[in-house]
Structure 1
Amino acid sequence: MTQAPKDLTPDTIVEFLASIFERRGGEEYLGEPVTMGEHMLQGATIAEQNGQPDEIIVGALLHDIGHFTSEFGTFSMDDTEDRHHEDAGAEVLEQFFPTVVTDCCKYHVAAKRYLCATKPSYFERLSEASVHSLNLQGGPMSAEEVAEFEQNPNLKHIIAVRYLDEAGKIAGMETPDFRHFAPRVQRMVDAHCGRSA
């Protein structure tokens, strides 16, 4: 199980993330027709093709990184409780990325619950695996949870990444690899950490 090294720095975080994609990106993704790596690369590729800002592209690229860094391991269709991969991922990212990117990771599960509560048609878009995980994650939000979630200043970015999460499940879709996005990721790290390019 990959654990985030304690000595990660702005100089090593991008290489660490690249190594996760290269070593573990081929692992099964929640019963979907794509691997974990393909799923995240598809979301980032779709965002890039649609001219989305770096925050959304990088947010989509890294939103599920917690599946690889979590001590709870990877979700499976046999799970009977949530593994909170979103929190594990955000914990790794928060010291190197702006809050908007971290929030896209930390709250992409909440965004699914939010959209199921506020846009009934959204539920119809969910795959069988996504419905299964929704049930483990608490189901659609209550009215009180919706009101609280809408206070997040990064709500629009989080929702955008959530839609990319659902879109990135296309069997056979060709995408660039992580290295294609690495310079963009590094620029975001450098800007957040106050380093000049």
Structure 2
Amino acid sequence: MPRRWSFLVNYPHLSHLDQLASLLAGMGEQLYGGEAISQLAHALQSGLAAEQDHASPALITAAFLHDIGHVLAEQGHDDLANGVNDHHEAIAVQALSALFDDDVLQPIALHVAAKRYLCAVQPGYADSLSTASQLSLALQGGPMGDSEARRFAQRPYADEALALRRYDDLAKVVNLPTPPLAHYLAIAAQVQKARP
């Protein structure tokens, strides 16, 4: 199956935090789609930005895990330049649904829409995006129209998704010191669904 259709594939549900830890540790040096940092560095920096904003453990976890879909889809460094939208937000929600509830999943599900919303309602926001984020914006539908933006603003978890998007924007700094992977896995364990 061509990679451009990879979002239609059923990705595995991660059912244990140790699976998540292995996946995240394994992506350490894999570059984050068109950016100058790794997937792991972006995840840790996103979690740090949320933590510094005094976000809830659920939102810190969402920030930390919001781009895990890129890893599962095996996003290539040049996919954006080649016009590939991997629908990483949907892949992430599918993969994480056995581990977390909507307080984690919905901000992840909506963080792409949040970027499109901010581009529509905040002057200068689109120009502030990294080159890679500008490329992905075009693939993801571009800025929202007025009616779509009004509907988005009324959705449950819209505020959390907008906060997550801000953390995402801040999390692209080369060599930024962060807490280790284990720190954010421990926060994720606090909001993990109860095991039967």
TM-score tier (shorter): 0.7 to 0.9
The residue number in structure 2 matching 1:136 is 139
**Where in structure 2 are there 5+ consecutive unaligned residues?**
4-9
Please list, as runs of the form range in 1=range in 2, the aligned pairs for 1:104-143 lying within 5 A after superposition. 104-143=107-146
- Alignment correspondent of 1:63: 66
What is the one-letter code of the residue matched to 1:183? A
Contact 2:129 2:169 in 1 (8 A): yes
Assess, with a 3 A threshold, how the Cα gap between structure 1 residues 124 and 78 changes in structure 2: closer, same or farther: closer
Count, aligned residues: 187
Task: Give the deviation of 1:83 after TM superposition.
Answer: 1.5
- Counterpart pick for 2:170 among 159, 167, 170: 167
- CA–CA distance in structure 2, aligned partners of residues 31 and 5 of structure 1: 25
Deviation at residue 4 of structure 1 after TM alignment? 5.3
Cα root mean square deviation, aligned: 2.1
- Checking the alignment, whether the CA contact within 8 Å between 1:114 and 1:146 is kept in structure 2 is yes
Please state how far the C-alpha of 1:155 moved relative to its aligned partner.
Answer: 1.0
Indicate how the Cα distance of structure 1 residues 140 and 193 shifts in structure 2: closer, same or farther if over 3 A, else same. same
Taking structure 2 as the reference length, the TM-score comes to 0.87
Checking the alignment, whether the CA contact within 8 Å between 1:68 and 1:74 is kept in structure 2 is no
1:21 to 14, 20, 24: 24
- In 2, distance between residues paired with 1:74 and 1:151? 34
Residue 107 of structure 1 aligns to a residue in which SS? helix
Q: Supply the distance in 2 between the matched residues of 1:66 and 1:149 (Cα, whole angstroms).
A: 22
Identity of aligned residues (%): 34
What amino acid is the match of 1:86?
A: E
**Superposed counterparts of 1:38-117, under 5 Å:** 38-70=41-73, 73-74=75-76, 76-117=79-120
Report runs of 4+ in structure 1 exceeding 6 Å deviation: none
CA distance in structure 2 between the aligned counterparts of 1:194 and 1:35, rounded to whole angstroms = 32
SS of equivalent residue, structure 1 residue 120: coil
Q: Which runs of 5+ in 1 are unaligned?
A: none
